[in-house]
Amino acid sequence: MLIFETGIRGHRLEYINHVYHGFYDRESLSELKIVVPTDFNLSLGGLSWPRSEECTFYYLSEEEQANAQLAGWRGILQRRRILKKYVAKANDREVFLVFLVTYIPSIILMLGSARFSGVVYNIYTRSCGNGLSVLKGFLLFLLMRLHPSVDRIFLLNDQESCAAFNAKFDSRKFCYLADPFIPVSVDGGGDYELSRNMEVTTVLHFGGLCHRKGTMEVLKLAALLAAEGEGPRYRFIFAGKVYEDIKEEFYAHVEALSGQIDVQVIDRFCEYSYLGHLCEISDVLALPYKNVGQSSGLLGFAAQFNRPVMGPEEGLLGTLIREYELGYTLPEIDADGMRTLLLENEEGIKQWPEKSPSPYLQTHRPADFQNAILNSVGRHV
């Protein structure tokens, strides 16, 4: 199998590592080839890559990496060219893409040079978009179903939609893929700048900090509480790279809140053990995502560290939070809604760690993810 990826943060790094361990456990690392960007190294995220010398790594040039990010037809043609080059170089017809949808137009133009499988995150039937976006989603899924070069389409964390799409499109291409939690070991003696404070309620928001993750709504929540004189009772932690789409506004708000409420910003890529530590010292995780049609890796952290989330009531994300008893959902996941939720559920939030762990941990193991991929890709029906 050839794994092809032009980015190496977040889900990309995690999923490549999970598939890698699947091959390692089956003692078949020599059958795995991985295309990664130039900034990839085996120490990223603190993940392990045992016997890495047995796996073949190909590194994209900086020019190839930049060309793969181009928009429009130029981007489609460049991705086709780069994909075709590395498929031939690896001499492997089974290709796994961490973000399948991005490459569909390029795959269509490759005319059977390989068979492509990959992950789909945004399920159009779960989104709250308009009629045009639903139509686009339907046409994309139909195209993936019909194109002979598309092998397996893994729908992340959405078993119900897999059954529905296979029935609708008379297909067996759509496969359920559990979003695996990352088994995180937290070093209790680590040199961490932040620690547990039982005198306050700590709200944690982490990952890529940007508009679509609702980062500004969390910051507005802090401003609301500060304006009402509740600042001394709360602490907010933002961990992860602050994206350019909100950077100027974000830091202007943080500066304005100085002295009114405790706001901690860790503007960098954080290792998983550190994110685990932040979960341990927090009381609630904020997930005010704009796109409710897809899952979130934060659910795995919430389940593993037994901390409740605040998330949207609608879409796939709301369904997962309720089904696996992972926290609280809101019909309007904005600053006002989260403020009301916090004030009305203070005791429940503080006592949440005493509850039994979520069943999410039993059904979203790395092995579930690995087996779904390795038992399906290349097994043509």
User: Which 3-state string (H, E, C) describes 72-117?
Assistant: HHHHHHHHHHHHHHHHHHHCCCEEEECCHHHHHHHHHCCCCCCEEE
Distance between CA 326 and CA 307 in Å, rounded? 8
**For 252-275, what is the mean pLDDT?**
93
CA distance 202 to 179: 26
Q: Which residue has the tokens 């907010």?
A: 236
Lowest mean pLDDT among 23-27, 110-114, 125-129, 377-381: 377-381
Give me the pLDDT at residue 42, please: 82
11-64: pLDDT as tens digits: 788 899 999 999 999 888 888 999 999 888 887 777 889 988 899 999 999 999
Q: What gap in Å lies between CA 357 and CA 305, rounded to an integer?
A: 8
Residues 149 and 314: their CA atoms lie apart, in Å, by 34
Residue among 316, 346, 314 nearest 329 (CA)? 314
Q: What pLDDT is attached to residue 378?
A: 58
Q: Which two tokens mark 370?
A: 């690995």
Alpha-carbon distance 224 to 301, whole Å? 27
Which residue shows structure tokens 């508009």?
Answer: 211
Residue with tokens 């990352």: 182
Q: Are residues 211 and 246 in contact, defined by beta-carbon separation less than 8 angstroms?
A: yes
Residue 201, pLDDT score? 96
CB 337, CB 331: distance < 8 Å = yes
Q: What is the mean pLDDT of residues 260-284?
A: 93
The percentage of the chain sitting over the pLDDT mark of 90, rounded to a whole number, equals 62
What was the pLDDT predicted at 229?
94
Helix, strand, coil tally for the chain in percent (to 5): 45, 15, 40
What pLDDT does 380 receive? 41
pLDDT for 292: 82
Enumerate domains of the chain plus CATH numbers.
2-180+365-374 (3.40.50.2000), 201-363 (3.40.50.2000)
Per-residue pLDDT, 377: 82
How many CB atoms are located within 10 Å of the residue 85 CB? 14
Does the pLDDT of residue 246 top 70, yes or no?
yes
Please, what is the end-to-end C-alpha distance for the chain in angstroms?
18
121-144 mean pLDDT: 78
Task: Tell me the three state secondary structure of residue 265.
Answer: strand
Which residue type occupies 2?
A: L
Between CA 215 and CA 250 the distance in angstroms is 8
132-141, 175-184, 214-223: the lowest-pLDDT one: 132-141
User: Rounded mean pLDDT of 163-169?
Assistant: 89
Tokens of 320: 């997962």
Task: Provide the pLDDT for residue 141.
Answer: 87
The number of beta carbons lying within 10 Å of the beta carbon of residue 115 is: 17
Measured distance CA(166)–CA(95) in Å, rounded: 22
CB 194 within 8 A of CB 264: yes
pLDDT one-digit tens code per residue, 49-65: 998 889 999 999 999 99
Tell me which residue has tokens 């190496």: 8
CB-based burial of residue 252 (10 Å sphere; 0-12 exposed, 13-18 middle, 19+ buried)? exposed
Determine the longest span between alpha carbons in the chain, in angstroms. 64
Q: How far apart are CA 292 and CA 313, in angstroms?
A: 9
**Sign of the torsion angle spanned by Cα atoms 259, 260, 261, 267:** negative
